[in-house]
Structure 1
Amino acid sequence: MELGYIVAGLAVGFIVGVTGVGGGSLMTPILLFFGVNPATAVGTDLLYAAITKAGGVVVHQRQRNIDWKISAWLAAGSVPAALATVWALHGLRADTEAINTVIKHALGIALLVTAAAIVCKQRLLAFAQRHIPVGETLYGGRRRLWATVATGVLLGVIVTLSSIGAGAIGTIALFLLFPLLPTARLVGTEIAHAVPLTLVAGLGHAGLGNIDWGLLTNLLIGSLPGIYLGSHLTGRLPDRVLRPVLAGMLALVGAKLVF
């Protein structure tokens, strides 16, 4: 089974490298397929995401692709929300079945939303570009700040319960909030925000005993070279084929978990 986890990490890392889609939406369903219980799958995947995305932060910072102000606004909402969600799960700690049921349904909903975000991404981005107000500045006003913090709160809850959302959903939300932000800077900013969020949520799950450290090691052994290989094929594989197939797979898994 250890070899299976390494191969899963390699496959997910490769797909993430090619498409840029967050690993959580792929890795967590795979772990459920292997028979890992939902709470352990989510907790392990959160720390897996924090470690893998930390490397992305280093690369994007070197290229000056991170807007730390926007990342801080998101974290101001997401980190406290993640802590509050972990605290709520801690209250259910004695009822393992209840925790797994909550996480399973949250995971299914997050997968369905992520699938919709993948399919509608280009239309949403085009809509945001068409409706930029005259005289718009990058950061907007106080209302934009509070909308960003509120988005962080929503992401904090979703990611803590499902390990999904920081990538596909978070990036699209950022583009709708800040349509003047260059795409490369938008992606880097969201990755920078995802690291503290997934780290805090992952450590919270560790406190609940929802981490399989051996599993985490095997996933990293496979995923790190997978991301490296996939990143070198970005743009060479047809995106118009990859994204619909990926979205369809996520929608099927999400529907099964919810219904």
Structure 2
Amino acid sequence: MDVGNVGFVIAGLVVGFIVGMTGVGGGSLMTPILLWFGINPATAVGTDLLYAAITKSGGVLVHSKNKNIDWTITGWLTLGSVPAVLLTLWFLASLHTDPSVMNAVIKQALGFVLLLTALAILFKKRLLAFAQRHAGDDYHMSPRNLNALTVVTGAVLGTMVALTSIGAGALGTVALFILYPFLATRRLVGTEIAHAVPLTLVAGLGHAGMGNMDWHLLGFLLIGSLPGIYFGSHMTGKVPDGVLRPCLAIMLMTIGYKLAF
């Protein structure tokens, strides 16, 4: 194993550790790291999508066993996200004859989604408190409108994820909490992960079909990330959330700004 491949294993270990410890989506960390290694944006996104699908599959099994998944909400989200992914992939395929244009579009979108993710991480507690505070207001959305809004939310997340590999984690969780403020946190997390697997799998396979995939790179990332997630999960709560979240948010905001502007 050469030095470059060792670097990918270490990257997987570090990202897996942070994800296990904080629950922050791996894409918001992994894709910028791959760009830093010199991987082109399209390949970085495609590889990270399948990396996310594989690593989150284990989480679905655990959450399903513990009855932490609302499959109805997952279904409505998927109804919006999968068609949006297919449309976004079609758009990217139309740019495939000019890789520089496709990479520029992905890089720009990546920057903006990273900025949104940083804000979601930074203000997550305030957003969740606001949703809970107004959950009992007189205004109640009808089930039909709520389902429609869930489909639209899935479509927005699907577009972002297919373009950048980012959005299903931090942004998806906040969106779900605002839509379903009475849903228990453990079920909210489980539902988000259950939706993320088909979303990232379809998007990842689509990118692979366009050649935006490095299978060897994927293997090295998994070698590092699986033990990283295991050890990180045992560190949950050891580092104060008030310190960890602002640091992650500032880091993502800095990267996002550089990519977008």
Which position in structure 2 is the counterpart of 1:103?
Answer: 106
Separation in 2, partners of 1:201, 1:97: 20
Which position in structure 2 is the counterpart of 1:50?
Answer: 53
Deviation for aligned residue 1:136 = 8.4
Which position in structure 1 is the counterpart of 2:214?
Answer: 212
Task: Please identify, of 232-241 and 46-55, the stretch whose mean Cα deviation from structure 2 is larger.
Answer: 232-241
Separation in 2, partners of 1:120, 1:240: 11
Deviation for aligned residue 1:47 = 0.3
Of 6, 17, 30, which aligns to 1:14?
17
Which position in structure 2 is the counterpart of 1:188?
Answer: 190
Task: For residue 179 of structure 1, give the secondary structure of its aligned residue in structure 2.
Answer: coil
Moved over 3 A (4+): 133-137
Residues 188-231 of structure 1: CA deviation (Å, up to 9, x unaligned):
00000000000000000001100000000000000000000000
Which amino acid is 1:164 matched to? I
Which amino acid is 2:243 matched to? V
Q: Which runs of 5+ in 1 are unaligned?
A: none
Is 1:116 matched up with 2:90? no
Task: Please identify, of 128-137 and 23-32, the stretch whose mean Cα deviation from structure 2 is larger.
Answer: 128-137
Give RMSD over aligned pairs: 1.2
Deviation for aligned residue 1:134 = 5.1
Output aligned runs, 1:1-259, within 5 Å.
1-133=4-136, 140-259=142-261
Deviation for aligned residue 1:133 = 3.2
Task: For residue 221 of structure 2, give the secondary structure of its aligned residue in structure 1.
Answer: helix
Separation in 2, partners of 1:236, 1:251: 24
Q: Which runs of 5+ in 2 are unaligned?
A: none
Residues 97-129 of structure 1: CA deviation (Å, up to 9, x unaligned):
010000000100010000000001000000000
Q: If the length of structure 2 is used for normalisation, what is the TM-score?
A: 0.97
Call closer, same or farther: CA 1:140–1:11 in 2, change over 3 Å: farther
Separation in 1, partners of 2:72, 2:136: 22
Deviation for aligned residue 1:236 = 1.3
Deviation for aligned residue 1:135 = 7.8
